[in-house]
Structure 1
Amino acid sequence: MIICIVVAAVLLGGGLYFYLHYKTTTEEQPKVMKYEDTTNPTAVQKTLDVDSNTAGQLVKQIEYIHDGTILPEATYSVTASTLDDAATKTAQQIKSNDASLPAAATEKTDRTVVTANTDQQKVDVYKINLRNNHKIKAGVLYADDKAYAGVGYQAGRVEAMVYMSADGKKAGAVNYTVKEW
């Protein structure tokens, strides 16, 4: 009986490991999108496999890039017969971690989007990190004529803070972000 449980646990653990590895690897692979689709939340959601809220935030950031509000970190020239071929070649170079690419293009991120920008005759590479949502916080709370110094941690929408006053009294708070904009 114990052997069966151990074998089942090992198989389940191994299966879970390989599934998570496959999912992470496929998410990190560069995706080639049409330039027009980068401003369409539905297309971004489908191509990058993200929720609708995240897709909306990504489209907003990509629009800032299109407007020139956010400037590129690096530029790179690639020789190809068409702009679509250049985008495909760039995606393959990113996938193979080609040393001739700028470091910003081969940087490890959650998602990479490569698109042929026909308006400006160039290929755009968007590096997207969705997992950078952990924050360490510090603050001060003033209650009942006492000041409390606090330290906390935020992961996604949940935030927890612990406070301590000079006389040793302790307090705590847990918050949840209902809406972000």
Structure 2
Amino acid sequence: METKSTRIAVVYSTAQGSTREIADFIGASLTARGATVEVADAEHAPDPTRFDAVILGSAVHDRALLPELDNYVRSHRHELRARPVWLFSVGLGPALVGPIGRLIGRMVPKNIAALRDAVTPRDYRAFAGHYERAGVSLSARTLYRLIGGPRYGDLRDWTAITTWTDTIAQELKLPSAQAIPTHP
């Protein structure tokens, strides 16, 4: 007798691609553990009632999640509250260093907290994204350095993302990975 695979939706909203790459990595990691995973951007996301669990992710702009994910959550709030949900955001906060940067990095902006509380996820994680110097004004670069920006480029902590994904897999009682996906 064949066992039914756990169905998981990974729904994301990205501005420059970092969040999509994290969502794809999470999806591949859970697929390697035997789950049936559908990764989709929030504008084209499937109905959450088709899934046993949902993982939501969005880039952070102006201390809020992107409008596409916000709209998806508000449109499906009741369906999302009826199943296990995890939420992640991608921004600069987690990469900041120094006393001011660490303080800023630990803060959850009101807009994100309100959306988080609307679906009561099992866990919420903020991950660092990708931040390039090109095209950023001198004043924005100066502020970035003053608040503890360590460097430019890919600031994502793939070990933290992998650990969080493993925790989700354990909570969903998924088997060990059959293959180990690599990050971009």
TM-score range, shorter chain: under 0.3
Report which of the two has the higher share of strand.
1
- Per the normalisation by structure 1, the TM-score is 0.27
- Per the normalisation by structure 2, the TM-score is 0.27
Which structure would you say has the larger RCO, counting Cα contacts within 8 Å and 6 or more residues apart? 2
